[in-house]
Every structure is written in C-alpha cells, then in structure tokens.
Amino acid sequence: MFINASTDNIDIAPAWERADLDEVKRLARYPVALVGDVQARMGIMAAAIRPVTPAPRLAGTVLPVLAREGDNLAIHRALDDARAGDVLVVNANAEINRAVFGDLLGEICLAKGVTGIVIDGAVRDVEELAGQGLAVYARGISPAGPWKNGPGRIGFPVACGNVVCNPGDAIFGDSDGIVVIPRRDLTAVIERTLAQERTEQKMREAINAAAQPAH
C-alpha cells in the first residue's frame, strides 16, 4: 500500500480463479446491450451506475471489494494483489456524498494493469481520471475525501448496482452501462453473442434493403 495504515480489519479471501482473459477479449468489442440480451437480459447493473470518464469501454475479470461507505482502506489493500486484466468492483454501500476513489488510486490501477473501475459509491478527481484514460463507473461524484479505517472484505462476492459479482466473473462496460457474466457461463455467452450479432446484422441489411428508393 502507498498509505500507512493497519489492515488487520480487512478480510482477504484465498486466491480465486479468473475468467479466461482471451475469452474476455473476444467479447470485449460487442455492445453490452447485446451481451445482456443473450443472457436473458440478466446481470446488468442498475442504471444509476454511470461512466464518469469519456472512454467507458471496459472488459476484464471481477476483483470484488466490500468497503465501508465513505472509507477506502479495503480498496488500497485490494490493489496490492490486483492482477493485469482485473476490474475493481466495489460495494461502497451506494454512498454518494463521500468519494472512495480518485486519481492516485487511478495511478495504482494503471501500474497494475487494472482495466477498469466500477464503484457502487462515489469517486472524485474525474478530470485527472479522464486524463489517465481509465474506464471508471460510479453511482456518484463528490470532492469529499474518504476515511481510511476499514473494515472491509476483498475477494468475496459483492453486490454492485444490484448485481451479485463473484470473484473472477467476466465484466464488460460501454456507454450504455455494465454487464456481469458468471465465469462458468462465459464460453456459452460468447457463442450466443456471435450468433445474435449475425441475426441483428441480417436485420440491418433487410432494413437497409427495404429503405432503398424504388427505381
């Protein structure tokens, strides 16, 4: 950690399996709406979780953190063990009047190869975060800074934007919002997404053909 604090009250799960990053990359270019459709429109986060930076495309595996509202000790500790391809997913109890993430944590995410941040709570330093090119989603923005006392939990399932996020699940974001795919479902969801994309492409072609002016 880059802060001086005891982490005795942070509960850390044993190592977990992550969704295969090559599979995650295969799905990364498809719209979140399409991916949500093929998993029966489930696993989509609440509309209140919005991108706060201008490059919102996000793809990776869930690194779940439970933080006390307004306190980010668990986030600082979680980033010690973050791996390239992880997405930081934080339940901060929907508190929007005190930020638990900002540009210094953003720097750490960049250094670790963390590919995105999703916070059911608030963030700050949004101009700096935008400059870092990070995909950051949150329920709110506030300049009020966090406490660093804990407690917290790392690597256990968390609720974020009304969706249960398990460690190692696949997670995707675009301008529409966020979808989470259980790790064991990822391969099947990829196949169904490719098929649905072909179906929608045929519909687009039919629409365009019907729209041609008559000769």
Ligand X SMILES: O=C([O-])CC(=O)C(=O)O
The separation between CA 105 and the C-alpha centre of its own chain, rounded to angstroms, equals 15
| Member of 56, 60, 102, 106 binding Mg ion (CB under 5 A) | 102
| Member of 72, 115, 142, 193 binding ligand X (CB under 6 A) | 72
By a kind-dependent CB cut-off of 5 to 8 A, residue 145 interacts, out of ligand X, Mg ion, none, with ligand X
Burial 23-60 (b: 16+ CB within 10 A, else e): bbebbbebbbebbbbbbeeebbbeeebbbbbeebebbb
Give the integer Cα–Cα distance in Å for 202 and 196.
Answer: 10
Phi, psi for 64 (deg, rounded to 5)? -85, 140
Report in angstroms how near the CB of residue 103 gets to Mg ion at its nearest. 5
Size, binding site for ligand X by CB under 6 A:
10
Peptide bond into 213 cis (omega under 30): no
Build a one-symbol-per-residue string for 77-106: x at contacts with ligand X by CB under 6 A, - elsewhere: ------------------------xxxxx-
For Mg ion, the closer of residues 23 and 128 by Cβ is 128
Report in angstroms how near the CB of residue 184 gets to ligand X at its nearest. 34
The residues of the shown chain that bind Mg ion, judged by CB under 5 A, are: 102, 125
